Structure 1
C-alpha cells in the first residue's frame, strides 16, 4: 500500500494511493484525481529525521574521500527544509555547485533501542524518496553538513508517498536514478550502501530510541551534476516511485 500526505479543501490529510497511481482514496471513502490534491511532505508531526553523509563508497571516491569512514556521518534535519512532490526549491544565485542527491528513506514503525542488525528491518514500516540537495559552496571543509546547506527552506523534496515495507522485498537491491530535464545524471543501487538500512537502524538505536514516524535518509550514490534555476529534477527508486521537483530562483 502507498500512503500520501496531501492538502485538500483546506485540510491536511493522509490518503491511500490507488494501484494505478492515478487517484487518491480519502479517509472518508471519497476518491479524487491526483491532480486535485497538493502534495505535502509525507512526514508525521514531531518525527525526528536523521540523514547520512558519505554512505556510498562510489560517491566518497568521486568526492576524493576514503571509501569508508571510521563512523557514519549523521546529521539532523528540521521540518522547514522539506517540500512535497512537484514542489519548488529555491536555488540561490551564488549556488553554482548545487546538485541533487537521490536517497532511500526508511520510516520507523515501532520503537527501536539497542536493536541488533539482524532485527533492524523489523522496526521499519515503510520507505519513501528524498532529494537532499547539496550546495558545495556552502559546505564546511567541502563535505561537512551544516544548517546553511542541509536545513535551508524547501531544499529537501520528499515523497511522493510512503510505500509499506512489506511491499519492498529487499531494500538493499533497488535501482536509483536522477534525471535533470530528462537526462540521466545519477544512477546507482542501494546495494552499494556502506551501512544498509538494518545497520543504520541498529547504529542509531545504540545512541537514541527511534520512535514510530522517525525517518532515516540513507545517503546517495555517485553522480554529481550541478543544476540551474528552471531545471526540473526527478529522483526515482525502483519499487517506490518518482519524485519531481522544480528549481526556481531564490
Structure 2
C-alpha cells in the first residue's frame, strides 16, 4: 500500500493511493496513520478493505509526513563509501548514527527554510525506514520483520553547524524544515528488494545525486539491528539510511542552497519530493 497523510499542516487526514493512482480517504476507517496502525496485523487489516468503497479525494492537496507521532528521527552517516570519499571521511567500521530533532519534520513538498546565518545548507536524498513493531536487541536476520515500510527523506544539513561548531552533528541536522519525509509510506510488501532501489536528486533541474541502495555500507537489516542495541525502536520511529555522492559539500567548487533554489528528489517505487528554498522570515 501507498499510505499518505494529506491536508493543511496539523490538520492532515489519512489516505491511500489505489491501484489506479487515485487518492482515497481513510479517515472513516482509521483515525490517523500512527503507531496504532503500523504493525503487520494492522496493515493487513487495512489492505483487506475494498478501496472502491473509500471516498475519492479530489482537487489539489498538500501531503504531510506520512506517519504521525514519530518519537525518534535517526540518521545514519557515511553509509555510502563513495559519499564518504567525497567528503574526505573514512568508511565507517560500524554505523555512525545521530538524531534529527522531530521538530524538523515537514511535508515532502513544504519549503526548506534557511536558518538565520546559514551559509552551508546542503541536500541529501535518503531511504527512510519506518519502524512498525517495537524493536530491542533484534537479530539482523529478523530485523526487517520490525519494519512497517519505506519512504523518501531529504536529510537537509547545515555543514557549518554540523562540522565547524563542535563535535556534535545534531545541531546541523535538526533545524526547522530540515526533515522532509514522504509523500508515501510504502508498506514493505510492495518492495521486492530494499537493497536495490535507485535514488536521485536534482537542483534547479540539474542532476546532482544518482545512487542505488545496493551500494550501502550497512544494509537496512544491519542498521535496524545495530541501532536496536543502543535504543529501543518504537512504532513510528524513522531511520534515514545515508546518502549517495553528489552533495554540495563534496563538489568542486562547493555548492550550497540559497533562496530560490528548487529541489526535486525521489526513490524508485517510493515517490518524489519537490521543495523550494526560502529565507528565514524577518521578525
Query: TM exceeds 0.5?
Result: yes
Counterpart of 1:55 in structure 2 is 79
Counterpart of 1:183 in structure 2 is 206
Instruction: Considering fraction of residues, name the structure with more strand.
Output: 1
1:136 and 1:143 in contact (8 A); partners too: no
- Identify the range of structure 1 (53-62 vs 218-227) with the bigger mean alpha-carbon deviation: 218-227
Q: Distance in 2 between matches of 1:59 and 1:46?
A: 27
2:65 and 2:182 in contact (8 A); partners too: yes
Q: Distance in 1 between matches of 2:115 and 2:99?
A: 22
1:136 and 1:142 in contact (8 A); partners too: no
Give the number of equivalent residue pairs.
Answer: 248
Q: CA deviation at 1:23?
A: 2.7
SS of equivalent residue, structure 1 residue 39: coil
1:31 aligned to which of 53, 56, 59? 56
1:22 and 1:34 in contact (8 A); partners too: no
Q: CA deviation at 1:75?
A: 1.1
Structure 2 alignment gaps of length 5 or more: 29-53, 249-255
Tell me how large the CA RMSD over aligned residues is. Answer: 2.1
* Deviation digits for residues 166-185 of structure 1 (CA, Å, limit 9, x no counterpart): 00011110010001122111
- Identify the range of structure 1 (96-105 vs 17-26) with the bigger mean alpha-carbon deviation: 17-26
> Any runs of at least 4 consecutive aligned residues in structure 1 with deviations exceeding 6 A, and if so which?
none
Q: Distance in 2 between matches of 1:191 and 1:49?
A: 23
Counterpart of 2:132 in structure 1 is 109
- TM-score, with structure 2 as normaliser: 0.81
SS of equivalent residue, structure 1 residue 153: coil
Counterpart of 1:235 in structure 2 is 265
Structure 1 alignment gaps of length 5 or more: none
2:219 aligned to which of 167, 183, 196? 196
1:95 aligns with 2:95: no
SS of equivalent residue, structure 1 residue 38: coil
- TM-score, with structure 1 as normaliser: 0.91
Q: Distance in 2 between matches of 1:200 and 1:45?
A: 22
- Identify the range of structure 1 (130-139 vs 167-176) with the bigger mean alpha-carbon deviation: 130-139
1:18 and 1:25 in contact (8 A); partners too: no
- Bigger Cα Rg: 2
Q: Distance in 1 between matches of 2:10 and 2:227?
A: 37
1:102 and 1:132 in contact (8 A); partners too: yes
Q: CA deviation at 1:44?
A: 2.7
Q: Distance in 2 between matches of 1:101 and 1:78?
A: 16
Q: In structure 2, do the counterparts of structure 1 residues 9 and 113 end up closer, same or farther at CA, with 3 Å as the change threshold?
A: closer
2:162 and 2:168 in contact (8 A); partners too: yes
Q: Distance in 1 between matches of 2:20 and 2:116?
A: 39
1:186 and 1:222 in contact (8 A); partners too: yes
1:100 and 1:132 in contact (8 A); partners too: yes
